[in-house]
A and B are shown apart, each in its own frame.
Chain A
């Protein structure tokens, strides 16, 4: 029983994905709304199941005779699974309006979405390089397909091909890396590789280092760090809005979950070896991302470009891992903060364009505050959070990341990151200025908005969480459980479970 509860969420998602695929054969019988309801119910069930062992510190390998140690179930993977399921669920709910307004979202789309989730959850549980690759590719292929879903947009072909070709290409690097590591160590199990590294001198480790560095490139590609970021703008631009939100937030978390596990649990020495590489990458990621974001005229592309900058902040916490473990908490916390604010901001845009189709450039946002004050207010909250303005969770996330970076001795990088933050205020506030300071442009006026629907409630939920995460409840509401510390405490439990042997 106890073993079953651990693998149940992942299995349930897989079963639901297959079931939805079968359902989609009967296209006439079900409409999009029913698919959304079915997938949401499954996700809520999964979420509840995942919460059963939540908050405890544990690390188990259930059914080891079958899985042979390739999968590991601990508080860490549980924590990330909850985030991934939550992210997917929120994507579904926020996109409810968008999915129904576009004819190309048929039943199989929801099956693919669940397959993507399945791959990501496996990735968070993977303890072995090849398993991780398979999980990563399951998730990636699902995302490739979803990127190309937008049949209304001629950009989709460019988007899907760019992403597919580059993604597969970088996957080749990963496999080459695995081969080299295997050649040196005769194993692909993370724990055994770690043992090999710690018991051998540097001379024997050349192949392992090269192999793992190739794997690092895959990681950098997937999180869109410099110099592997060139796909981001076009892919995010061509993909359906809600998929962009999904990729920017949830998918990124899954990637980080595996690499955090690999680095923290087993390969702490690697981060020292990569130190100067990542150092330079962070500088370029921040500078380049900022430059890209400043020059964009389309809001979606601006958010996409700014996600590169956020990758830079995340890597800043990531590099600090080498010096102290607290940086891991900062990384995870920032991931959550970014998940909330990115999902919220992309989600609002997708909600808006599901009715009007024109709100894509800065100018199209003119006068939004007059027409739909609550949407504008929520967008403002998310933009504040992205810019790291106090009273939002984004500020706390940035505070953690920068503090840990300075604490680990990366003061100059922290200063650079602060400068990037400063510039980011420009492009985020520009959008706020558009919404509030200009009158409505003529062609966008339309009064038949229906804002009382699931999408808006889901976005409002995100906005409230963003605020509560930023001020905590101890001061104003005097509810101890919702305090800022609660989240970081759970993060600590999750990270600590990696060290249970």
Chain B
């Protein structure tokens, strides 16, 4: 059972979704069962989290043949990296359900369930083809959600986001096949496991660069890294709240995770050689998206840019070649997922209630809704990185990491945090605090259900901010091992 628990976590939502699809039309039943499913998954993930042995490497592994003639295995497992993100997904999704509770249709919930299968699958997959399988599958429900429940020019948006992500995925697909064939030619047997790919030695330098870029394109589009970001503004603006939440808090993080899981171990030398470029691109993205966020009037677009800005920062941390940077990046992944997820959901509530999306239309929300404003402020400060919140710990770690990598870049990265603070606080002042708009008077405060949903997030923000060790201890051994392996290989080749 302990080995199959991961498969259970992956496939339970999909099985439930198909079951609901053909059995009932009753929206409330569908929603309640979907919510129940996610809480069951949360319980299972908690069990894994407790049983997990931090220093033991890959655990709960299932490795059975899937397509035997090409050596493709159903190979899943969890280590410090994936456990952290698995935990994050398991906590975020059910609580997000509580915030999305009313006014959704049956298809909405079914798609939410299907997405969960896709994201957990690609998170836990250790066979590259299996990973690709889930990576593509998780996009399809989001595609439907944006197209059916989106706003504005939703069809164009859907096509745009599909085209972008598919382009990256297909480039990665070529690279996967090429690596598989190379492995086959070198070792005489087919295998698509990520640890087999790390053994390949017969690739030339040029081939490696091309393959590296092909993989990176898939991940960089999802993250998104500058200059592959142009799809997110339209998408975050026009997509329904649930889809925005999934894209920004969960799928973008999977892009970063995939860099750590597949890209760096398979191409360690390229990673080491070009790391300064990517740190630079990351920091540039941080500044660029930050300035762009300052200039937005549409609140969702502003958050889209802010999200991209933080993810660029995460990417810079990942490429900084040391434990501070990578630990910090992992920590920021979770911190950002919580803060941004909450903010997008809260903005979704604003939009549903008032119909306004631009900052200048809003204002004076604080008077009507003190609880809403408080939680909004907490998440905002976590996002900005105020001391005492989880954002502070993670940003500090990343800045240390970049400082160790290169002193000048370290100073620059420390300064860029100001940009984040300025657009966030300015927005907060204009949209929430400032009292000037009579039409937002009708705005309601949060319902009990929503407060219950957000409470664990608020709790986590402070817990992670004040006692980071209880979380970092779970994944730090993995990071240390990982870096030893990578930098060792990177140095000798």
Residues of A within 8 A of B (CB): 329, 384, 389-391, 395-396, 399-400, 402-403, 406-407, 411, 414-415, 418-419, 421-422, 425-426, 429-430, 433, 436-438, 472, 474-476, 484-485, 488-489, 492
Contacts and interface: CB of A to CB of B under 8 A. Distances in A.
Contact of B74 (A389, A400, A425, A475): A475
B177 A488 contact: no
B177 A402 contact: yes
Contact of A426 (B70, B147, B163, B177): B163
Given A390-B132, A433-B159, A437-B147, A422 B166 contact: yes
Given A390-B133, A391-B137, A437-B148, A429 B159 contact: yes
A358 B140 CA distance: 29
B159 A406 contact: no
A425 B174 contact: no
Contacts of B185: 407
15 contacts: A389-B136, A390-B132, A391-B133, A399-B70, A400-B70, A406-B178, A407-B181, A419-B170, A422-B166, A430-B159, A433-B155, A433-B158, A437-B147, A472-B66, A474-B74
B387 interface: no
Given A472-B66, A474-B65, A475-B66, A418 B173 contact: yes
Contacts of B65: 474, 485
Contact of B162 (A399, A402, A425, A472): A425
Given A399-B129, A406-B181, A475 B154 contact: no
Interface of B is mostly: helix
A430 B173 CA distance: 22
Nearest to B11: A476
A418 B74 CA distance: 24
A414 B134 CA distance: 22
A396 B173 CA distance: 12
B67 A437 contact: no
A407 B177 CA distance: 9
Contacts of B148: 436-437
Contact of B140 (A389, A402, A415, A484): A389
B67 A396 contact: yes
Interface string B93-136: 00000000000000000000000000000000000010011101
B140 A407 contact: no
A406 B11 CA distance: 32
> Which 5 A-B pairs rank lowest in CB-CB distance, beginning with the nearest?
A437-B147, A390-B133, A390-B136, A407-B181, A406-B181
Interface in B66-87: 66-70, 74
Interface of B: 7, 11, 15, 64-70, 74, 129, 132-134, 136-137, 140, 143-144, 147-148, 154-155, 158-159, 162-163, 166-167, 170-171, 173-174, 177-178, 180-181, 184-185
Contacts of A395: 133
B66 A474 contact: yes
Contacts of B173: 402, 418
B133 A403 contact: no
A329 B180 CA distance: 18
A472 B174 contact: no
A186 B15 CA distance: 63
A212 to B, nearest CB: 30
Given A402-B177, A437-B155, A425 B133 contact: no
A403 B170 contact: no
A484 B67 contact: yes
Contacts of B69: 329, 485, 488-489, 492
A437 B65 CA distance: 39
A474 B68 CA distance: 11
Most chain B CB inside 10 Å of its own CB: which residue of A399, A426, A429: A399
A472 B67 contact: yes
A61 to B, nearest CB: 30
A425 B166 contact: yes
Contacts of A406: 174, 177-178, 181
Nearest to A423: B163
Nearest to B149: A437
Nearest to A329: B69
A425 B163 contact: yes
Contacts of A415: 174
Given A399-B177, A406-B181, 6 more contacts: A384-B140, A400-B70, A402-B173, A402-B177, A406-B178, A415-B174
A390 B140 CA distance: 10
Contacts of B140: 384, 389
A486 B452 CA distance: 50
Contacts of B7: 475
A412 to B, nearest CB: 11
Contacts of A485: 65, 67-69
A387 B1 CA distance: 37
Nearest to A470: B133
A403 B180 contact: yes
Contacts of A437: 147-148, 154-155, 158
Contacts of B67: 396, 472, 484-485, 488
Nearest to A429: B162
B76 to A, nearest CB: 10
Contacts of B154: 437
A438 B137 CA distance: 23
A329 B70 CA distance: 12
A427 to B, nearest CB: 11
A426 B159 CA distance: 8
A418 B159 contact: no
Contact of B167 (A422, A436, A438): A422
A403 B144 contact: no
Contacts of A422: 166-167, 170
